[in-house]
Amino acid sequence: MSTILKDWGLQDHSGVVKKFDASMVPQQSMLYDMFRNAGTYRPVPGLECSWDEYEQKRRLAPVTGAAGHYNHVELVTKTRRSSTLAWIKLKKTIPGHELFNFRGPGEDRENALGRVGIELAELWTLITNTREYMCAQALLGTLVVNSTTVPGTDAPFSIAFGNNTYNAGVNWATPASLVVNDIKLAEADHVQACGMPAKIAITNDVVMRALEGNDQIREWARYRSGAEALASAIWDPKLLETMRLGGLDWLTSFYGYVPAGGSFTRFFADQNDSGATDRAVFLPPKEMLREVLRMAEGRATIPAKGGGYGGEGELAGLTQAQPGPYAWSKVSPEGDGLDVFAGWVGLPIVTYPEAVTVINTTP
């Protein structure tokens, strides 16, 4: 065996996949970033996570006189919920003869580390696809993970968050529909459901193109921001922001995944029970999202570099990865190749379902 492979030993590549994560096009992890940056991120010990849903009263407070008694009000209703974390654990085996006979794009000599980097990058793409898919489903109200929705899954689970729903009064895909009026009705429905204003709107590129082709919006954009709207690129995450449609910050999710043997599938377009495929989600302002969304991330057990007994948190050659992405590699058991591992442990959670309004735009 080559001296290089002998000296390879156990390598921690967690920093590499974190760089992959940071260097991705923002759209590829837009929904995950929204959960992660909501302000309630925390690492979760153990195999499950739990959260509390609070139902606050929104009635009027009674009025009494100066000498009147204090009116008793019941405590806030709290519902405790829990779920298993989603464990994504992937592995590749690179034979030694391929490891040392690989040349990267544009290279004229072998590059074993480059081969490991390419394989890790693909593993991380698969992981982020599932992570983004789960975030999209949580925003749409029901997260179902099984062998049908995520092929190859052997630990199925489902969570019905119970998000607020609104059926559009007009078909947003019809150019002549009064869609601006309906957007304002959807905003009013959101406020009635949760007592928070709607500030963020998320949809896919199909709905976005329908909005840009709507007669009412085109007429408005002609005077407001026609030039900016026409000049916007599809990859602009705030394509409709220049138009401030309904006073909302519009985010367009147009990335997706390609199932084995299948065709491109958007993260934000899965069909629901009513047959709607093109939906929009309204959320409160960014500063209020800490009450609405949460990203829980756990720790996986991985080999400790060097083996043996180590310091705190390291025992008999084992340690815990940092929450979030992790990766490592070691010489394969046969001794003639390299095993490359990557994974992620976590779960997107909606803690205030009434503040996430899911709109069926094509009733």
- In the predicted model, is pLDDT for residue 97 greater than 70? yes
- In the predicted model, is pLDDT for residue 231 greater than 90? no
Q: Let me know: does 235 contact 27? Beta carbons within 8 Å.
A: yes
- The pLDDT tens digits of the residues spanning 152-176 come to 999 999 999 999 999 999 999 999 9
Pairing mode, if any, of strands 293-297 and 42-43?
parallel
Q: Is residue 67 part of a domain?
A: no
Q: Is residue 64 part of a domain?
A: no
- In the predicted model, is pLDDT for residue 235 greater than 50? no
Q: Is residue 136 part of a domain?
A: yes
* Maximum CA extent, the chain: 91
Residues 297, 320: Cα–Cα separation, whole Å: 13
Structure tokens at 311: 């310091």
Residues 224, 278: Cα–Cα separation, whole Å: 26
Q: Is residue 253 part of a domain?
A: yes
State the amino acid at position 45 in one-letter form. P
Domain region containing 239: 3-56+78-360
207: domain CATH number is 3.90.1690.10
User: Of all helices (H) and strands (E), which one includes residue 345?
Assistant: strand 337-350
Structure tokens at 122: 């693909």
* Half-sphere exposure in the Cβ direction for 347 (13 Å, CA): 26
Q: Is residue 158 part of a domain?
A: yes
Q: Is residue 71 part of a domain?
A: no
Residues 174, 189: Cα–Cα separation, whole Å: 22
Q: Is residue 66 part of a domain?
A: no
- In the predicted model, is pLDDT for residue 272 greater than 90? no
Of 267 and 241, more confident? 267
- In the predicted model, is pLDDT for residue 249 greater than 60? yes
Give me the number of domains the chain comprises: 1
Q: Is residue 69 part of a domain?
A: no
Angle at 126 between CA 121 and CA 128, to 5 degrees: 90
pTM recorded for the entire structure:
0.85
pLDDT of residue 226: 56
Name which of 24, 21, 59 is nearest 346 in CA terms: 21
